A = this chain, B = another copy of it.
Amino acid sequence: MTASSIPQLNVGLIGGGFMGKAHSLAYAAMPMFFWPAPAIPVRHTIAEVTDDLAAGAAARFGFQHSTGDWRRVIDDPNIHVVDIATPNNSHAEIAIAAAQAGKHILCEKPLAPTVAEARAMYEAVQAAGVVNMVAFNYRRTPAVALARKYIEEGRIGRVLSFRGTYLQDWSADPSGPLSWRFQKKIAGSGALGDIGTHVVDLARYLVGEISAVNAMMHTYIQERPLQSGGADKLGASDKTAGGPRGAVDVDDEVMTLLRFENGAVGSLEATRNAWGRNNHITFEIHGTEGTIHFNYERRDELQVYFTSDPSDARGLRTVYTGPAHPYGEGLWPIPALGIGYGETKIIEAYDFFKAITTGGAVSPNFEDGYKTELIADAIVRSAQERREVDVDTIGAARETASV
């Protein structure tokens, strides 16, 4: 393939916050890393809530056009891809419109704040036949992909248990502002949807379908200072401690046990109150022939134990991912030069555009995102009812809803 034969695809990005930045980086960098690239993403149009914000974002993120009205992105026939990087409660409206307009869609996670919206989004992309992906980017960490490879190849035997955590502290301080992430009407849920669903996605990716859950949920910090501006600055203290406060109506701590369809068991903890844990996404998987351990805070590394090692030299080894591992040829020439957050998004863009230009499947897609919402819904019910709850299947949920 020569450079000139690589298709250029125009992207319309809706949302110029933290995720807008991460996705812009991915579009600029993807061909630099994966070459020949499946496509060259062109930063065509960026939308924000006002024209001014959009113009500033275009200058910063290198877009050719900008708009204060996201519907112009949908309506623009030159745009091939719509990227939704807005707060959760706007995902469904935008995604359904984009699907109906025949755009391929990359949507930030969680797919939607409610099961009903997630189902509608799933149905819309099914009907439209567009490529669709939900941005659970931590799957794209090379070490996580390596874990999946080991498991698929049977190198730790049959999986017996999964233990996952997502611990953060950017909002452990009650003086942090009441951003949209603490409001149910926008976010849908708190720690569960914001970070817990990442672990659900990892569990499904690595172990398989989850059939039942058994959960506890809490809201330890029950009010926060009202925010002066609209920005979502994670972790920033508003320094307006004396000002008016509003109620937090989402969870900040969720723990659940997991039952997988294949007989494995597991647990998940997601909390916003873990001082000293920044982006502490971990999992440990025990198999009949080995163990895998991962900690995103040290994301260049995967720890793995094989029973096939010599009896006097068994132990968890620390594998630094690099060219010998998934996605490695496209990243950096040697291990430990450094996988950052950006790389997870660059790989995500690579897989997404590859699916568009080659017609292959991509995951996690909206079906996965919808399934994750069903699991999150079961977690909420389990916590309310203090008992184990079966996860609705996609079909069953749809039927129930249509009655």
Residues of A within 8 A of B (CB): 3-4, 6, 18, 21, 24-25, 28-29, 31-33, 35, 37, 40, 55-56, 59-62, 146, 149-150, 155-156, 160-161, 163, 165, 167-168, 170, 173, 214-216, 218, 220, 233-236, 253, 255-257, 259, 265-267, 269, 271, 273-280, 284, 286-291, 293, 296-301, 304-307, 309, 311-320, 322-325, 332-344, 386-388
The reply to whether B314 and A319 contact each other, CB–CB distance below 8 Å, is: yes
Q: Identify which of A62, A275, A332 gathers the most chain B CB atoms within 10 Å of its CB.
A: A275
The listed residue with most B CB atoms (<10 A of its CB), out of A160, A215, A338, is A338
Q: In the bound complex, do residue B62 and residue A161 qualify as a contact, i.e. CB atoms below 8 Å apart?
A: no
Known contacts A161-B269, A214-B386, A233-B333, then 8 further A-B pairs from the complex at CB < 8 Å, ordered by chain A residue: A28-B62, A235-B323, A257-B257, A274-B291, A278-B334, A317-B317, A317-B318, A387-B387
- Inter-subunit contact B3/A218 (CB<8 Å): no
Would you give the shortest CB distance from A279 to chain B, in whole angstroms?
Answer: 4
Partner of A387, one of B259, B274, B388: B388
For residue A25, which residues in chain B have a CB less than 8 angstroms away from its CB?
A: 28-29, 32
A301 cross-chain contacts in B, Cβ below 8 A: 315
Q: Find out whether the CB atom of A18 lies under 8 angstroms from the CB atom of B333.
A: yes
Q: Name the B residues within 8 Å of A280 (CB-CB).
A: 336
30 pairs, CB–CB < 8 Å, chain A vs chain B: A24-B32, A25-B32, A28-B62, A31-B60, A32-B61, A156-B275, A160-B273, A161-B253, A161-B269, A170-B333, A220-B288, A257-B257, A275-B305, A276-B293, A276-B314, A276-B315, A278-B322, A298-B298, A298-B300, A304-B315, A305-B317, A313-B317, A313-B319, A315-B317, A316-B318, A317-B317, A338-B339, A340-B340, A386-B387, A387-B387
In the assembled complex, how far is the CB of residue A182 from the closest CB belonging to chain B, in whole angstroms? 16
Grouping DSSP codes into helix (H, G, I), strand (E, B) and loop, the A interface class, with mixed when no group exceeds half, is mixed
Kindly provide the distance from the CB of A233 to the nearest chain B CB, expressed in whole angstroms.
Answer: 7
Contacts of A314 in B (CB 8 A): 276, 317, 319, 324
Contact of A161 among B28, B156, B271, B316 (CB under 8 A): B271
- Chain B residues with CB below 8 A from A146, complex form: 312
Residue of B nearest to A337 (CB): B341
Query: Which partner residue on chain B sits nearest A279 by CB separation?
Result: B336
Contact between B279 and A265 (Cβ–Cβ < 8 Å)? no
Residues of B within 8 A of A236 (CB): 323
Residue of B253, B259, B299, B312 near A160 (CB, 8 A) is: B253
User: Which residues of chain B come closer than 8 Å to A305, judged between CB atoms?
Assistant: 275-276, 317
Contact among B28, B60, B255, B340 with A35 in the assembled complex (CB-CB below 8 Å): B60
Q: How far is the CB of A251 from chain B (nearest CB, A)?
A: 11
- Evaluate contact between A255 and B276: CB separation under 8 angstroms: no
Query: Are A55 and B3 closer than 8 Å at their CB atoms?
Result: yes
By a CB distance below 8 angstroms, the chain B residues around A216 are: 214, 257, 259, 265
CA distance A6 to B165 in the complex (A): 43
| Pairwise interchain contact B160-A220, C-beta atoms closer than 8 A | yes
Q: How far is the CA of A257 from the CA of B119 in the complex (A)?
A: 31
Contact (Cβ within 8 A) B163 A269? yes
Asked if A320 and B278 make an inter-chain contact with CB atoms under 8 angstroms apart, the answer reads yes
User: A275–B287 contact, CB under 8 A?
Assistant: yes
A2 to B168, CA, bound (A): 35
Kindly state the separation between the CA atoms of A163 and B32 in the bound complex, as whole angstroms.
Answer: 36
CA A295 to CA B312, docked complex, whole Å:
19
